[in-house]
Amino acid sequence: MSARGRSRPTVAVQLREEIRTLIAELGLVAGDRVPSEAELVDRFSVSRPSLREALKLLEEDGTLLAVHGRGRFVSGRAMLSVERPITHFESVGAMAAACGYSLSSRVVGFETVPATERRAAMLGVEDGAPLLAVARIRGHEGRDLVYSLDLIACEGLGAIGEAADWADSVNSALVLRGIEPVMARAAASATHLPTEAAAKHGLEDFGPALLIEETAYTATGRAVLHSLVYHRGDAFRFSFARTPNAR
């Protein structure tokens, strides 16, 4: 896939988040009209096709309601948007930035390991197939806040490169290799860091953690990444919205 073919979805997703931020900054509520396409193109300095793609994403997730001949409006469902929604697919860096943290990142593990039966099933590879395992610790102002272990199937990955290539964002490193995660299936649980990892990396004082375990997929449904991300319990708060079941 060409760089051009990959860039457009990425721009649309980023622009979607910028429009959400704008809605909040303007104090718009359900029923309020959002700025016109022309105003948004001018504000964000983007092309109209990219803007329309982002607006379509906002319509699909229920944030905006398009009314023919009148424009787009903030929907009632958008009022259910919550601070740091656990259902929102984003990088740890983006999530942390929204929480007010500027994370530094260091790779503490970088090796090829055989896929266990469970991980092989999650990533759609054979048992024992080689996986790139990247362990990182991310912190803010000298305090360790996140420990993560990312596992990527080596088949089709191309050049693995050096540990430094994967330090800041595994998602970005995958995109540079022609693989773009856009969605994930995840589970959350309250836990502690694995004893071995805590001792090995000096994280004994990490305390209770919220573990987000997820498998990320490309737009075609290919599983490309399995992650275990431990968030320090006293540093992050997640939330979610509840809606009535369809009957």
Residue 246 and residue 224: Cα distance in Å, rounded?
32
What domains appear along the chain, each with residue ranges and CATH number?
A: 3-80 (1.10.10.10), 92-232 (3.40.1410.10)
Residues in the chain: 247
What are the distances in angstroms from CA 121 to CA 125, 129, 244? 7, 11, 33
What pLDDT sits at residue 244?
56
Around 22, how many Cα atoms within 13 Å sit in the side-chain half-sphere? 20
What pLDDT sits at residue 247?
44
pTM: 0.66
Q: pLDDT tens for the chain, 247 residues: list them.
A: 333 333 334 688 889 888 988 888 888 888 899 999 999 999 999 999 999 999 999 998 888 999 988 999 988 766 555 444 555 566 777 777 767 788 899 999 999 999 999 999 999 999 999 999 999 999 999 999 999 999 999 988 988 999 999 998 898 899 999 998 888 888 999 999 999 999 999 999 999 999 999 999 988 889 999 999 999 999 887 766 565 554 4
189 contacts 199 by C-beta, under 8 angstroms: no
What pLDDT sits at residue 1?
36
157 contacts 173 by C-beta, under 8 angstroms: no
Residue 53 and residue 156: Cα distance in Å, rounded?
29
β-strands 183-191, 209-217: how paired? antiparallel
